[in-house]
Amino acid sequence: MNITEDRMRIWVLKILLCLLFTLIVVFLIVQVSLSSRNEYKASASETIEAKGSGQIGEENSFKAALYKLAALDIKELSPAWELSVSGEVFMAAEGDFLYLTSTSGRVMAVKASEGSTQWSLDLGVWVSAPPTVQSGVVYVGATNHVLYALDAASGALLWHYTCQGEILAEPVVSGGSIFVCADNNSVYNLSHRLYALDARNGALKWTYDTDSWTPAPPAVTEHAVYLGGYHREVYALDKLTGRKLWSFTAPNIVLSSPQVVSGQIFFACVDGWVYALDAASGTQQWAIKLPGFVSLAPGDGSGNLYVCSSKDTLIALSPDNGDELWTFKDRSFLSCSPINESGHIFAFASDGKVFSLSVSSGEPERLFIAPHDFTNPPLVKSGCIYGSSSDGFVRAYPIP
């Protein structure tokens, strides 16, 4: 009798062990299936921050982040098409086409809706900036000192101009002229030079020499051209003649392009100082110190001034007085989009996250998750996000 009871106990124990093992396997399968979504939720709950009206403790901040996360509309992005392009890729758009340049020297026109290649040209030189496209012409600057003007429909060379140094920033077209910065090769003892060329045929209009390496394009208005650089100075030049109108001594290097809005010029120094000057006279209007290594982000037409910080932060400032309107933080923050859609802008993270932020508050309201990373700030156009990834592909992600 005792032997029978022992066998029964062993049999029951085996059944219980099998049930326990089955439950463990099911639990692991569920966890694995949800791991990707949970990782993004954990990342967002740890890193999403918005400026509040008062100071709260760490516990309340964590709770607030969880509440914001719960309110987020999370969608996964799926590519409509993908295109293999060697090298680091930069993009511009006009009409129904994307125009791509890569550090391998490739220039391409791609149908934005389907990813088919209209034409492709190998310049055979390093191209380190996006092209500029206007009125059916693609302008590409390269490290071989040459500015190329290509027909946007066919890729045929319309004209070219050889500068005295490498062209490291995209050209700017305005009022029939094209403005391009050429930087001195260290082998040659030459100045850094800003060129104004006729956009129709490449004829030289004027040049302006500085001691300042200028890795970002100038800002151009109806009457003036503004540029900064490594020389810790911001210049205003007459658009027609290149004559210096005024200059302002900055406290540190100015890497990003200045911006001009409503009679004011804004620029950021790498040490965190952001300045507003009167565009006509160069008189300082206000200045504010922000944390980290900062640069100006593209404007979106909302009236806000956006600053990107190396502290993985996007900061919105009032252009009137420099007051901080709100901040957004993500540990892999890359850039923001100049597109303002229905009171929202997009903030991109290098790991493939795309946040839709309220322009008025900076609160994230939607989160899109791409299956691939972003190596450069994506381009947003006509309801699609176009991004390049480290695996060598350019992809089009329709926005849900």
Mean pLDDT value across residues 136-165: 96
The whole-angstrom separation of Cα 220 and Cα 213 is: 18
The whole-angstrom separation of Cα 110 and Cα 113 is: 9
Whether 309 has a pLDDT exceeding 80, the answer reads yes
The answer to whether residue 254 is domain-embedded is no
What is the number of domains present in the chain?
Answer: 1
pLDDT at 189: 56
- Nearest alpha carbon to residue 95 among 153, 182, 31: 153
What mean pLDDT value characterizes the chain? 84
- Nearest alpha carbon to residue 141 among 241, 212, 215, 31: 215
- For the ranges 240-244, 248-252, 302-306, the lowest mean pLDDT is seen at 302-306
pLDDT at 226: 96
User: What count of other Cβ atoms lies within 10 Å of the Cβ of residue 153?
Assistant: 13
- DSSP conformation letters of 264-320: EEEEE-TTSEEEEEETTT--EEEEEE-SSSEEEPPP-SSS-EEEEETTTEEEEE-TT
What predicted TM-score, i.e. pTM, was given to this entire model?
0.81
The whole-angstrom separation of Cα 389 and Cα 394 is: 6
Confidence of residue 36 (pLDDT cuts 50, 70, 90): very low
pLDDT in tens, 196-229: 999 999 999 999 988 777 778 999 999 999 998 8
The answer to whether residue 155 is domain-embedded is yes
More confident residue, 137 or 309: 137
More confident residue, 109 or 186: 109
pLDDT at 273: 94
Residue with tokens 């946040």: 355
pLDDT at 337: 78
Question: Helices (H), strands (E): how many in the chain?
Answer: 2, 33
The string over 337-354, giving b where at least 16 C-beta atoms fall within 10 Å of a residue's C-beta and e elsewhere, is bbebeeebbbbbbbbbbb
| CATH number for the domain that contains residue 190 | 2.40.128.630
What is the domain extent for residue 131?
Answer: 87-210
More confident residue, 176 or 340: 176
Whether 396 has a pLDDT exceeding 70, the answer reads yes
Whether 48 has a pLDDT exceeding 60, the answer reads no
The answer to whether residue 100 is domain-embedded is yes
Q: pLDDT above 70 covers what percent of the chain?
A: 79
Q: Is the dihedral of CA 200, 206, 209, 210 positive or negative?
A: negative
Whether 244 has a pLDDT exceeding 90, the answer reads yes
Mean pLDDT value across residues 7-18: 66
The whole-angstrom separation of Cα 183 and Cα 397 is: 36
Whether 83 has a pLDDT exceeding 80, the answer reads yes
The whole-angstrom separation of Cα 19 and Cα 25 is: 10
- DSSP conformation letters of 71-137: H-EEEE---SEEEE--S-EEEEEETTEEEEEETTSEEEEEETTT--EEEEEE--S---S--EEETTE
Under a CB-based contact definition with an 8 Å cutoff, are residues 226 and 218 in contact? yes
The answer to whether residue 291 is domain-embedded is no
Whether 262 has a pLDDT exceeding 80, the answer reads yes
The answer to whether residue 306 is domain-embedded is no
The answer to whether residue 102 is domain-embedded is yes
More confident residue, 115 or 295: 115
- Nearest alpha carbon to residue 346 among 323, 370, 311: 370
Q: Which residues, in sequence order, are bridge partners of residue 327?
A: 315
The answer to whether residue 58 is domain-embedded is no
94 token code pair: 């006009």
- For the ranges 157-171, 181-195, 207-221, 352-366, the lowest mean pLDDT is seen at 181-195
Mean pLDDT value across residues 142-151: 95
User: What count of other Cβ atoms lies within 10 Å of the Cβ of residue 71?
Assistant: 10
Mean pLDDT value across residues 16-28: 62
pLDDT at 17: 65
Residue with tokens 């890193």: 47
